Amino acid sequence: MNDNIDQLSINTIRTLAMDAVQQANSGHPGTPMAMAPVVYCLWQQLLRFDPEDPIWPNRDRFVLSAGHASMLLYSLLHLTGVKAVDPNYETLGELSVKLDDIKRFRQLDSKCPGHPEYRWTSGVETTTGPLGQGVATSVGMAMAERWLAAHYNQPGYELFNYNVYALCGDGDMMEGLSGEAASLAGHLKLSNLCWIYDNNHITIEGHTALAFSEDIAARFMGYGWNVTRVGDANDLTMLRRALDTFLKSDRPTFIIVDSHIAYGAPHKQDTEAAHGEPLGEEEIRLAKRAYGWPEDAKFLIPDSVIENFRNGIGKRGKELRTEWEQLFERYKKEFPQLADQLHRMQRRELPDGWDKDLPAFPADAKGIASRESSAKVLNVVARNVPWLMGGAADLAPSTKTRLTFEGAGDFEAGQYGGRNLHFGIREHAMCSALNGMSLSKIRPFGSGFLIFSDYSRAPMRLASIMEIPVIYIFTHDSIGVGEDGPTHQPVEQLAALRAIPGFIVMRPADANEVTEAWRVIMQLKHEPVALILSRQPLPTLDRAKYASAAGLARGAYVLADAKDGKPELILMATGSEVSLCISAYEQLTAEGRRVRVVSMPSWEIFEQQTPEYRHSVIPPDVRARISVEQASTLGWSQYVGLDGITIGMKTFGASAPLKELQKKFGFTPDAVIAAARKLLSVNPSRSEGSL
């Protein structure tokens, strides 16, 4: 075997990847083999990361955007001895990735799943796999560091100065998301951000020349990045020189590294099999022979390699972390309030008094748009929670998400202390960046029109997988957008968001439900949430007459009820349609019908309640039920049952004034009353049966 410890360590990374993919009979061995020298150089020589404490706040971040090359990262986590961390932020004595996990790569319950997963494997900074998401998320991480430094660094106390590295490939570069994110990073001059591009000219279909021929260096120079090139992925000297150039740059850095996929496996170079399939036993033997490796050895880790990493990144990382912790102990004594904020932020805890001065809105038949009431609540909450920050995809004047209190400021290139973010018309990159900020323990929000949530679905889905509490604010929530027409009128978006597991959707009915929605949202630690708001005014309900808006905390609640509490008909709605149901309720009640109105701002939270509570709100024996929502009816059948009626959108909308649209599509009190009379005539009051 090769006595050169650097080469020995690199080949250990390679052979672990080959053996794991072969044993799993699944995976991508090519990129781990080709990029092993790059990650070795970065981790062993430069990365400020302590394997003993992989959540140390000022650690450098390494993002494997090319998530299909997951064995590259798993090999590093094992060889460097990264320790596991539990949900209580306690470092455990065991390894994050054991050799048995590597041997069980891509198998059930292994800490080495097919693509890296945050919260599942300690040392993984973000879940990756969908191409482009990793690099875009890294932009949010870099933004977070700049904001943390601006707010918490004090003279003599540089608490935050970490860098963010992302390893990406041709697939990342082809995805439009990477262009959005790189454009934003260049505009913000995020000099703490470095993307390392594995330029190997291979994708699943074959050579990139089939579909990709742009000048990638010119593209990134156009974005305002510092661009450098390493002609051979195996040249550690040139790799280190390129990384040193990054450390001196005043802009984000893009390092193009030329490589050959499955380097060292000559019979499989530049083939799809080396990229997306195991090499095969014979090819592995040939590769190991080229490395000077025992050809029949599997999962071999020389002791000298473990010692090498321990003396490199292990020693350096521990020294850096210890120095930081000593600095923070002194910081706590001199700046106790700031230190307390950092402590709470890292644990996703809220400040004392975070909900003081939350507004209560008086009854008002004319009312206020929920985007307007949300603006009032958001500004109060953000004043009380210093690390709540966010912005819009160029729509803050419309979504009403600008923080207007004194000192809020704007986050801009060279001025990173502001809490108003400007993402430009980049919905996809915005939501990926929000994920990066949340992973850095800032509490971020981003906003846009509900119709454009389609552009953001991939990062929202990842936020749910990662269990991070990102806040998405979507306004213009229905055909109430009016004259803008069907291209801007969301119909299927609510159903699409509700379909994401672990994702919470809230569509409040009036200003006081908005206040209660924010009260719930801020206490979430592991669930992303979409707050769905109206452009048009919503009547502020008289809470002395109807139930308290605090019922929102349980997802759905009885807003208005039959006098004896035994309804023969239940009207259910969310958002702007709740007041419509109240109007129908008043008329039907005057006619002597026993009617209940249920406000259902969040199906997801309602489903978390006990069966007893859910049945108390929607009794199984009351089968006359009507749902009303200006959106696709998909999903409402679980609540209206076989005998009920859903009033919703069966088609796209139309371009017309709001009142005309409401009449055309049946969102009027008269339409609800007609449906109620029809339903009661064929399904009179009775107590037998259930859903």
Catalytic residues: 427
**Cβ 646 vs Cβ 627: under 8 Å:** yes
How many residues are there in the chain? 691
Beta bridge partners of 474: 448, 532
Alpha-carbon span 505 to 498, nearest angstrom: 6
Alpha-carbon span 636 to 174, nearest angstrom: 39
Tokens of 290: 């080229």
| Three-class secondary structure of residue 537 per DSSP | strand
What is the pairing mode between strands 569-573 and 625-632? parallel
Looking at residue 646, the DSSP 8-state letter turns out to be: E
Beta bridge partners of 206: 203
| Three-class secondary structure of residue 620 per DSSP | coil
Helices (H), 608-649: 611-617, 637-640
Tokens of 102: 């590597």
44: phi then psi, degrees, rounded to nearest 5: -75, -35
Contacts of 231 (CB under 8 A, 6+ apart): 238, 258
Contacts of 281 (CB under 8 A, 6+ apart): 22
What is the pairing mode between strands 83-85 and 91-95? antiparallel
Tell me the torsion sign for CA atoms 294, 298, 302, 306: positive
Alpha-carbon span 628 to 673, nearest angstrom: 12
Which DSSP string corresponds to 429-456? Answer: HHHHHHHHHHHTT-EEEEEEEGGGGGGG
Cβ-in-10-Å burial (0-12, 13-18, 19+) of 630 comes to buried
Cβ-in-10-Å burial (0-12, 13-18, 19+) of 138 comes to buried
The position carrying tokens 């690199």 is: 10
| Three-class secondary structure of residue 13 per DSSP | helix
CA 5 centroid distance within chain: 39
Alpha-carbon span 505 to 531, nearest angstrom: 6
Q: Which of 67, 63, 69 is nearest to 16 (CA)?
A: 69
446: phi then psi, degrees, rounded to nearest 5: -140, 150
Q: Residue 505 carries which side chain, given as an amino acid letter?
A: V
**Cβ 259 vs Cβ 243: under 8 Å:** no
Tokens of 201: 């000219």
Tokens of 50: 């302590």
Q: Which of 150, 162, 153 is nearest to 328 (CA)?
A: 153
**Cβ 122 vs Cβ 82: under 8 Å:** yes
Alpha-carbon span 505 to 500, nearest angstrom: 10
